[in-house]
Amino acid sequence: MASDPHSRLHTVGTLVRKSRPVDIGHRQLLEGPFWQRIPAYRDVDAETFEDHLWQSKHSITRTDKLFAALRELVSDAFYKAVEEGLARSSMSLRLTPYIVSLIDWEHPERDPIRRQFLPLSTEQLRDHPRTYLDALHERAHSPVEGLTHRYADKVLFITQDRCPVYCRYCTRSYAVGLDTEQVGKAHINARSERWDQVFDYLRQHPEVEDVVISGGDTFSLRAEQIRLIGDTLLDIPHIRRMRFATKGVAVLPMKLLTDHEWFDALAGVAQRGRKLHKDVVVHTHFSHPSECSEITQRAMNRVFEAGITVRNQCVLLRGVNDDAEIMRLLVRRLGYLNVQPYYVFQHDMVRGVEDLRTALRTTQEIEKSTRGHTAGFNTPMFVIDTPGGGGKRDVHSYEHYNHVTGISVFRSPNMDDKARYVHFDPIDTLPEEGQALWADHALHDQLVADAISKS
Ligand SMILES: *Cc1c(COP(=O)(O)O)cnc(C)c1O
Ligand code: SF4
């Protein structure tokens, strides 16, 4: 029927396509006073909720405060599981009211946002014997405290150790956040003498063109600190690119709307960079499509209007985003908000989060289901940051992968052509035969040696 616009759409020219269900779910963002579902925020109006100072002041850092905010919403058994879970965790507790409001407290056990920040003793699994506190050996490649120089032309600068939230799975749990019962941290403060040492090192290393300013988190830096870091780096002639890394865009988007001094500092550095033909961008960290709300959209619009590129990197997390449909929704929603999906990381081999790690083959499957869904430049690379400091590798590029033992072996000729970098799938995802092999400690070294010999 020529008058039916839909049938025409599908028969334009010689291209006849099967009609597909129209899929625009990624454009449907949470709006309205969704936070009023939380007992403590019942009377909070939009203006207050969008005030970044109110968000910071009401951020939750202790379980008793969390329980006071939620009141009757969750059960005593849940409270108990959180307290026990935190006692065994490497990361301290910190949540913004925004994130608390996005969690479905009717079903917190299976909520993908809750899983990222609040450990439950009932779901924790025993660590793989090959997990480490600093799995990437960042401190071994560190010429100055808080600066990792692993790649030829780029460095990672950890400005300080605070974030607006603390993720259970943080790969920098050796330093980021407050001490926990499990981990006494290598504290990295925003000390200006240490920053001066970092700047001196960069001035003396003309091969460095690219600085990742991370942490810790750019949202935890004051406006004048953003300007200091930005201007100092822009003044070093060979530095061509910098990225301000922040989880804040995902967990505290209102800061971009209401902290004008901070926003102007960032936009000012980006603008000055453009005049100098240098690239100043923001890298952020959305893990699940539900973290994007209508507030996020307004925040991203403001950033886009300022001409600042935002890219996303996240971790593939079991029970959070290890599902092809969720990943596709995340990727399309981010593209819709002008955030470019950049990396999805295989979970690092860190302690205390075995229940969040996925098998490498799961990550490969999700990559296959994601690629081809939307614009290629909005499709992330799925990478593994190889344990032991081999750097990032495409998850499909292993030399050897044994699905029974869960051991995969990677090569990184840029780093060291002879070295082999080994990753281990979570034991509970292995077939019974593989689980039995890992149950015998005496076999472990041999399993690894066998895998390396086949690579
Ligand atoms: C990831 C990383 C970088 C940046 O790498 P890109 O692939 O360019 O995003 C720089 N330094 C270190 C130590 C890193 O881990
Ligand atoms: S925001 Fe980033 S650095 Fe901070 S705790 Fe989370 S993963 Fe770690």
* Full DSSP string of 135-167: TT-TGGG-SBTTEE--SSSEEEEE--S--SS--
Cα 359 to Cα 363: distance, rounded to the nearest angstrom: 7
Cα 369 to Cα 194: distance, rounded to the nearest angstrom: 44
Query: Residue 455 has what pLDDT?
Result: 92
Nearest ligand for residue 390 CA? 1
Mutate to test the pocket of ligand 2, among 163, 173, 252 (most ligand atoms within 8 A of CB): 163
Calculate the alpha carbon distances from 447 to 43, 112, 349, 410, 450 in Å: 58, 34, 17, 15, 5
User: What angle, rounded to 10 degrees, do the helices at 223-234 and 260-275 form?
Assistant: 10
Low-confidence stretches of the chain (pLDDT < 50) are 1-14
CB atoms closer than 10 angstroms to residue 174: 22
For ligand 2, atom 5, name the residue with the nearest CA. 166
Residues 449 and 422: beta-carbon distance below 8 Å: no
Report cis status (omega within 30 of 0) of the bond before 13. no
Residue 23: alpha-carbon gap to chain centroid? 26
Q: Ligand 1 centre and the CA of 100: distance in Å?
A: 30
List the end-to-end C-alpha distance of the chain, in Å, as a whole number: 59
CB atoms closer than 10 angstroms to residue 262: 21
Residue that has been written with the tokens 């990742």 in this structure: 212
Query: Residue 1 has what pLDDT?
Result: 39
CB atoms closer than 10 angstroms to residue 414: 12
Mutate to test the pocket of ligand 2, among 156, 160, 167 (most ligand atoms within 8 A of CB): 167
Mutate to test the pocket of ligand 1, among 137, 153, 154, 414 (most ligand atoms within 8 A of CB): 154
Query: Which residues make Cβ contacts (< 8 Å) with residue 251, sequence separation at least 6?
Result: 96, 98, 99, 164, 165, 291
Q: What is the DSSP string of 244-293?
A: EE-SHHHH-TTHHHH-HHHHHHHHHHHHHHHHTT-EEEEEE---SGGG-B
Q: Ligand 1 centre and the CA of 380: distance in Å?
A: 15
Nearest ligand for residue 172 CA? 2
Query: Residue 437 has what pLDDT?
Result: 97
Cα 361 to Cα 175: distance, rounded to the nearest angstrom: 30
List the structure tokens of 118. 């609040």
List the beta bridge partners of residue 281.
Answer: 243
Query: Residue 183 has what pLDDT?
Result: 67
Query: Residue 188 has what pLDDT?
Result: 67
List the structure tokens of 382. 């799925």
Calculate the alpha carbon distances from 7 to 2, 14, 22 in Å: 7, 13, 13
Q: Ligand 2 centre and the CA of 248: distance in Å?
A: 10
The two most distant CA atoms of the chain are separated, in Å, by 74
SS3 399: coil
150 lines ligand 1 (CB under 6 A): yes
> Ligand 2 — pocket residues by CB below 6 A?
163, 166-167, 170, 172, 176, 215, 217, 247, 285
Residues 189 and 200: beta-carbon distance below 8 Å: no
Minimum-distance ligand 1 atom for the alpha carbon of 156: 11
151 lines ligand 1 (CB under 6 A): yes
Query: Residue 16 has what pLDDT?
Result: 52
Query: Residue 236 has what pLDDT?
Result: 98
Type of residue numbered 166: Y
Nearest ligand for residue 394 CA? 1
Residues 255 and 219: beta-carbon distance below 8 Å: yes
Q: Ligand 2 centre and the CA of 166: distance in Å?
A: 6
Q: What is the DSSP string of 155-220?
A: EEEE--S--SS--TT-TTTTTSSS--SS---------HHHHHHHHHHHHT-TT--EEEEESS-GGG
Q: Residue 175 burial (CB < 10 Å; 0-12/13-18/19+)?
A: buried
